[in-house]
């Protein structure tokens, strides 16, 4: 007779983005048995044990007792993983992770502004999992851009409004979900693209007003490089204008060096930047935003040398700490 056999190979001990099919390979085999006995060939170097999973951690040469297995299972909780005891290292070093951000994944997909409902539902699941990860890391805030429209939708006023209203409803549901998980805030980033919401001071304020009363606060995230992007914003490419108009709704700020012509995300060693310590202090203080966290967001090109990137970041942090007095 035959018997189906299925084994999940190399599962991570911590949650990951499993829709990418990482660390989730499943081996399926049909084992032929004779009189109910499974036939299996085992190399001589592999020993049999009653505690096989733990042997992946520390191979044994003899069969272990039940107490041995129980002890090793207790020790599994001490193994360092991406979400386990390694998180304690941050606390030991005095580092607090207070927020997560959607990052490149949220720029690579249309997400909550995708043309089809199926795509938007998938994005909703993506952000729910992002909330789960954020809470697992002990952070209280999840920040992200919401997505982007396709070429035709972005140029159709009626379609833009339909997608905008649908996006608002998804965000309300995400706030509801976040509350059940212990998340405290969601921050939506304004981007320098007409295909996305929000993309200007006026649209940002209106969007925040439309999202008032959600289960947890949904606030605005302003990026210096986005707010100074002249090709789109023209005369509104003015960080002081952004801060003054949007101040009541701003929950966090992304700080970068840029030239106003592209979304550069340079560090502060780069020549040609227009953001100065004097401007940072002036714009922030005059808008009453001194208590709002500004996260340094540097995005280097893939070809940059690792040592050069590290050195640039170190010099940038030393420079900002000195010039901003923080």
| CATH code of residue 186 | 3.20.20.150
Pair (124, 202) in one structural domain: yes
- Using the 3D structure, point to which of 41, 76, 111 is the last residue of a domain: 76
Residue 85 lies in a domain: no
Residue length of the chain: 326
Q: Quote the pTM value.
A: 0.75
Under 8 Å between Cβ of 258 and 224? yes
Pair (128, 6) in one structural domain: no
Residue 37 lies in a domain: yes
Residue 86 lies in a domain: no
pLDDT string in tens for the chain (326-residue length): 555 544 444 444 444 444 444 444 444 444 444 455 555 555 555 454 444 444 444 444 455 556 665 555 445 445 444 555 667 777 788 888 999 998 776 677 899 999 999 999 999 999 999 999 999 999 999 999 999 999 999 999 999 999 999 999 999 999 999 999 999 999 999 999 999 999 999 999 999 999 999 999 999 999 999 999 999 999 999 999 999 999 999 999 999 999 999 999 999 999 999 999 999 999 999 999 999 999 999 999 889 999 999 999 999 999 999 999 87
DSSP 45: T
Burial zone of 108 (CB within 10 Å; 0-12 exposed, 13-18 middle, 19+ buried)? exposed
- Using the 3D structure, point to which of 12, 43, 76 is the last residue of a domain: 76
Tokens coding 274: 């227009």
Pair (64, 102) in one structural domain: no
Residue 234 lies in a domain: yes
Pair (206, 315) in one structural domain: yes
Residue 90 lies in a domain: no
Q: Please identify which residue in the block is written with the tokens 């007095």.
A: 325
Pair (68, 144) in one structural domain: no
Report the distance separating Cα 24 and Cα 149, nearest Å.
32
Residue 8 lies in a domain: yes
Pair (51, 115) in one structural domain: no
Residue 87 lies in a domain: no
Report the distance separating Cα 209 and Cα 249, nearest Å.
9
Pair (46, 114) in one structural domain: no
Pair (10, 152) in one structural domain: no
pLDDT for 37 equals 53
Pair (20, 147) in one structural domain: no
Pair (62, 132) in one structural domain: no
Looking only at the bridges linking them, the beta strands covering 2-9 and 99-101 are unpaired
Report the distance separating Cα 259 and Cα 262, nearest Å.
7
pLDDT for 13 equals 43
Pair (63, 111) in one structural domain: no
DSSP 3-state assignment of 17?
coil
Pair (60, 174) in one structural domain: no
Burial zone of 147 (CB within 10 Å; 0-12 exposed, 13-18 middle, 19+ buried)? buried
Tokens coding 126: 């993506």
Enclosing domain of residue 266: 96-324
Number of domains present in the structure of the chain: 2
Residue 84 lies in a domain: no
């Amino acid at each position: 007779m035959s018997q189906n056999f299925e084994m999940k190979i190399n599962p991570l001990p911590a949650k990951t983005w499993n829709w990418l099919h990482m660390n989730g390979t499943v081996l399926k085999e049909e084992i032929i048995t004779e009189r109910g006995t499974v036939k299996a060939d085992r190399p001589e170097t592999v020993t049999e044990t009653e505690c096989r999973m733990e042997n992946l951690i520390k191979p044994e040469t003899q069969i272990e007792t039940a107490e041995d297995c129980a002890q090793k299972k207790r020790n599994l909780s001490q193994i360092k993983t991406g979400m386990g005891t390694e998180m304690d290292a941050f606390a030991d070093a005095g580092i607090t992770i207070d927020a997560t951000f959607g990052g490149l994944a949220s720029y690579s997909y249309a997400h909550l502004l995708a043309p089809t409902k199926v795509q938007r539902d998938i994005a909703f699941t993506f952000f729910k999992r992002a909330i789960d990860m954020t809470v697992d890391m002990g952070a209280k805030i999840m920040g992200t851009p919401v997505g982007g429209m396709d070429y035709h939708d972005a140029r159709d006023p009626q379609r833009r409004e339909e997608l905008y209203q649908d996006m608002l409803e998804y965000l309300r549901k995400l706030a509801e979900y976040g509350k059940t998980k212990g998340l405290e805030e969601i921050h939506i980033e304004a981007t320098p693209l007409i295909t996305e919401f929000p993309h200007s001071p006026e649209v940002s304020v209106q969007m925040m007003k439309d999202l008032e009363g959600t289960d947890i606060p949904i606030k605005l995230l302003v990026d210096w490089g986005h707010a100074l992007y002249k090709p789109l914003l023209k005369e509104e490419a003015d960080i002081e204008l952004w801060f003054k108009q949007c101040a009541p709704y701003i929950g966090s700020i992304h700080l970068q060096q840029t030239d106003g012509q592209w979304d550069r995300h340079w560090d502060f060693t780069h020549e040609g930047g227009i953001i100065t310590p004097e401007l940072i202090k002036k714009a922030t203080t005059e808008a009453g935003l001194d208590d709002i966290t500004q996260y340094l967001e540097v995005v280097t090109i893939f070809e940059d040398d690792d040592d050069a990137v590290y050195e640039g970041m170190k010099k940038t942090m030393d420079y900002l700490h000195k010039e901003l007095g923080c």
